[in-house]
């Protein structure tokens, strides 16, 4: 039997993660194999402002793998990071990089191996706080990204990025935007990991994913993002695991659409999340393969789970297992048809005002067959 790149990637990386979630009751922290550059100790230490007056001057002077230590203070700069360096602040509460020029990101990372930790990144006008471009390998760690007019962090291109243990809040439009990450034919070569962040207070989405592959959104808290917590469009091989998403007043906690590529090897996996007090829980349209396992979806204004596929019903494969779907404002589970539900077991669906197990129609109709299929072993 021929093993594809996608199958190998799922075997080596994805399946162990899902097994941990399911076998340990969805409580175990996932230690993801994210790419983290650790240049400290491999090159010299440059100090700002003791040795260099500006951070950019230190970057320009730094050899590969240098550490640039930045003392407490406010630094009015628009940085260009084009080298493999570790930019180390004294802590986000003490070291601030504030955009000096309108229309430019506070920090632009181009193909390199740059890591940033311990900064507050603010003040970009008509731009993002951090923009990561091209085939850059970059890490944003223990940072605060706030007060940037287009959004907090934008990743654009086929590099590999980790955004971890950071606060992304009150950027006007978006928290994190991930575009054109990943390569369809080469799973795992280009990835993005968004882990253990607090993402809140945006007019659009907390995390927006577009035309992308191989993205892991794990262990984040998303609050008060008006149009929704996580939005996918034409995004495949996406893993959304153990996030807490609440108070999205005009959108679903997790939502998406996509018709450009239809294959069961390009699924969206949503597992171990808590989705509460949003307009809706999970709302998916025209995505061929969706797997929902072990989610708690309660007290949303509209449906708990909606998986529809008007354009691709014949190709759809939906799996629903061990989800708790309670007290939502309209439907518990709403699916395109009984035939699209490939697997369904051990779900608890109750108290949803418009009905618990529903098949799409005008209006949607209760389905005893779906209930029997989804509550059994």
Which residue segments constitute the domains of the chain, with CATH numbers given?
Answer: 1-19+242-377 (no CATH), 32-226 (2.160.20.10)
Tell me if 329 sits within 8 A of 355, measured CB to CB. no
Pairing of strands 355-359, 365-366: antiparallel
Is cis: bond before 363, omega within 30 of 0? yes
Helix (H) and strand (E) counts for the chain?
4, 36
Q: How far apart are CA 231 and CA 283, in angstroms?
A: 10
- pLDDT by residue for the chain (377 residues), tens digit each? 334 444 444 544 555 555 544 443 444 333 443 334 444 547 899 999 999 999 999 999 999 999 999 999 999 999 999 999 999 999 999 999 999 999 999 999 999 899 999 999 999 999 999 999 999 899 999 999 999 999 999 999 989 999 999 999 999 999 999 999 877 767 776 789 999 999 999 999 999 999 998 999 999 999 999 999 999 998 888 999 999 999 999 999 999 886 544 444 568 999 999 999 999 999 999 888 899 999 999 999 999 999 998 877 888 889 999 999 999 999 999 999 999 999 999 999 999 999 999 999 999 999 999 999 998 75
Task: Output the CA–CA distances (angstroms, integers) from residue 46 to 52, 61, 89, 156, 235, in the order listed.
Answer: 8, 9, 12, 29, 40
pTM: 0.89
Alpha carbon distance 236, 166 (integer Å): 25
Q: SS3 helix, strand, coil % of the chain, rounded to 5?
A: 10, 45, 45
d(CA 374, CA 377): 8
What token pair was written down for 330?
């309209």
Phi, psi angles (nearest 5°) of residue 370:
-65, -40
């Amino acid at each position: 039997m021929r093993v594809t790149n996608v199958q190998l990637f799922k075997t080596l990386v994805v399946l162990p993660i899902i097994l941990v979630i399911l076998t340990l009751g969805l409580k175990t922290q996932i230690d993801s194999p994210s790419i983290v550059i650790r240049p400290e100790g491999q090159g010299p230490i440059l100090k700002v402002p003791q040795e260099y007056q500006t951070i950019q001057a230190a970057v320009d002077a730094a050899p590969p793998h240098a550490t640039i230590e930045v003392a407490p203070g406010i630094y009015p700069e628009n940085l260009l990071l084009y080298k493999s360096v570790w930019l180390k602040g004294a802590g986000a509460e003490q070291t601030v990089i504030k955009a000096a020029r309108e229309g430019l990101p506070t920090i632009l990372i181009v193909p390199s191996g740059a890591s940033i930790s311990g900064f507050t990144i603010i003040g970009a006008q008509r731009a993002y706080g951090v923009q990561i471009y091209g085939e850059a390998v970059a890490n944003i760690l223990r940072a605060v990204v706030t007060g940037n007019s287009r959004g907090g962090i934008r990743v654009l291109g086929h590099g590999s990025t980790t955004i971890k243990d950071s606060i992304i809040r009150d950027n006007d439009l978006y928290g994190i935007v991930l575009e054109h990450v990943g390569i369809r034919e080469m799973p795992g070569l280009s990835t993005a990991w968004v882990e253990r962040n607090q993402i809140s207070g945006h007019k659009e989405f907390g995390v927006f994913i577009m035309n992308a592959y191989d993205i892991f959104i794990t262990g984040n808290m998303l609050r008060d993002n008006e149009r929704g917590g996580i939005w996918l469009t034409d995004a495949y091989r996406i893993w959304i695991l153990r996030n807490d998403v609440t108070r999205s007043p005009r959108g679903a906690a997790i939502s998406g659409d996509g018709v450009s590529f239809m294959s069961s090897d390009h699924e969206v996996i949503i597992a171990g999340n808590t989705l509460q007090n949003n307009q809706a829980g999970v709302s998916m349209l025209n995505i061929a393969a969706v797997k929902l396992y072990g989610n708690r979806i309660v007290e949303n204004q509209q449906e708990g789970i909606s998986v529809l596929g008007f354009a691709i019903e014949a190709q759809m494969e939906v799996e629903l297992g061990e989800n708790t779907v309670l007290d939502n404002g309209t439907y518990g589970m709403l699916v395109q048809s009984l035939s699209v539900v490939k697997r369904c077991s051990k779900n608890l669906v109750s108290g949803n005002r418009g009905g618990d197990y529903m098949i799409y129609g005008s209006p949607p109709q209760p389905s005893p067959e779906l209930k029997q299929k989804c509550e059994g072993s």
